[in-house]
A = this chain, B = another copy of it.
Amino acid sequence: MKLICTQENFKKAIYNTERVIGKQSTLPILENILLETEKGMLKFSATNLEIGVFLKIGAKIEKEGKITVPAKLISSFVNNLPAGENISIETDEQLLKIKSGNYKANIKGLGAQDFPIIPEFDGEFLFSFSGIELQNVLPKLLVSVSVDGSRPELGGVNVILGEDGVNMASTDSFRLLEVRVGLKKEKADEYAALIAKTNSIIVPSNTLSEVLRAITPETQEVKVAVEESQIFFQVDNVRIVSRLINGKYPEYKQIIPKEFATKTILDRDELLRAVKIAGFFTNKSGEVNFKLKAKEGELEITAQSEEKGENRTQIKAEIDGPEQEIVFNPRYVTDGISAVTTPKIAFLANSGSSPVVLRMVSEKEGKMEIDEKLTYVVMPIKN
């Protein structure tokens, strides 16, 4: 292999492939990035056997070939180069000779023949998401994914494919976030056939972190295909392939209340601050008390512990319905408030022992409207 490419493209390719690489791999070649020439392009591939990432950049190729090199070493090298000069590379058996201006290195690699095959997708993508919308909702969804591993199906985001959009949901069984996300069909008939067969899939959270990493402010769309037990994403020139999580996602729809006895609208930042402060004063079981005082038009948040003392904050609230007293774990409430990005937030409750829902509030023609696009459900602590 012998070629020249721009430093900018090379750096971006390393950035987008290096992170899937496992830290403690039993298979040394999985710590490497595969570089290979393909149809006048230089292709970069990396995999941890669950997720594969590859992308191609333009290159002036003098001699075809392939090699794998340690991701960490080549990343450290190229990321410390001064900007400007091109990168030229050449292989000599299992050595990658890389050069940019006066900076030269010979990096010991491993033979490409031992690199695992990453499934390629050569069909057409069925639908696409807006890049900016995914960049907005994925970080919120990833917060509620279960991390303890005891229920593998909760280690991903559930995507329910519908006619006009998808519902994405994540839960660790203490709280749940559901978001509606729009989609554009690329192939209407094939998409209809897909949702007739498989309309609910579970995408591993690590895969979505990679998708998020590949999205840039310039990304228009993220194309998606689902095939057998695999999902394929295309974000600009980056392709990500991943297994789907097997298993049945909980039927969460039935735990989201449809009616609410008490609907409250609050200032979002004020609520976040008050719950955060209350969290410092909780006892070991982590209890923060919410008291919706309809008559006074205020929400009173309190917390106390034998050791630390107590805290009390009053927040102005527009309360529609009877008084309520509800006890929460402050962490789950702050995550929910953080997911709501409108200046006002809706706090929807039925009782101290049933799920509470947080939603966005938008102002339309001077009227507050509760927006059902995003639903955060949190279970109170029962006393």
Contacts and interface: CB of A to CB of B under 8 A. Distances in A.
A276 B81 CA distance: 10
Contact of A309 (B81, B107, B277): B107
A19 to B, nearest CB: 18
Contacts of A76: 277, 280
Nearest to A273: B80
A105 B70 contact: no
A165 B32 CA distance: 55
Contact of A108 (B77, B95, B280, B307): B307
Interface residues of A, number: 33
Interface in A301-350: 307-315
A35 interface: no
A265 B95 CA distance: 34
A313 B177 CA distance: 52
Contacts of A104: 311-313
A270 interface: yes
Contacts of A80: 273, 276-277
A331 B70 CA distance: 22
Interface in A139-175: none
Interface in A259-310: 269-270, 273-274, 276-277, 280-281, 307-310
A219 interface: no
B310 A106 contact: yes
A105 B276 contact: no
B312 A277 contact: no
15 contacts: A70-B308, A73-B281, A73-B309, A76-B280, A77-B280, A81-B273, A81-B277, A82-B269, A96-B309, A102-B313, A104-B312, A104-B313, A105-B310, A105-B311, A108-B307
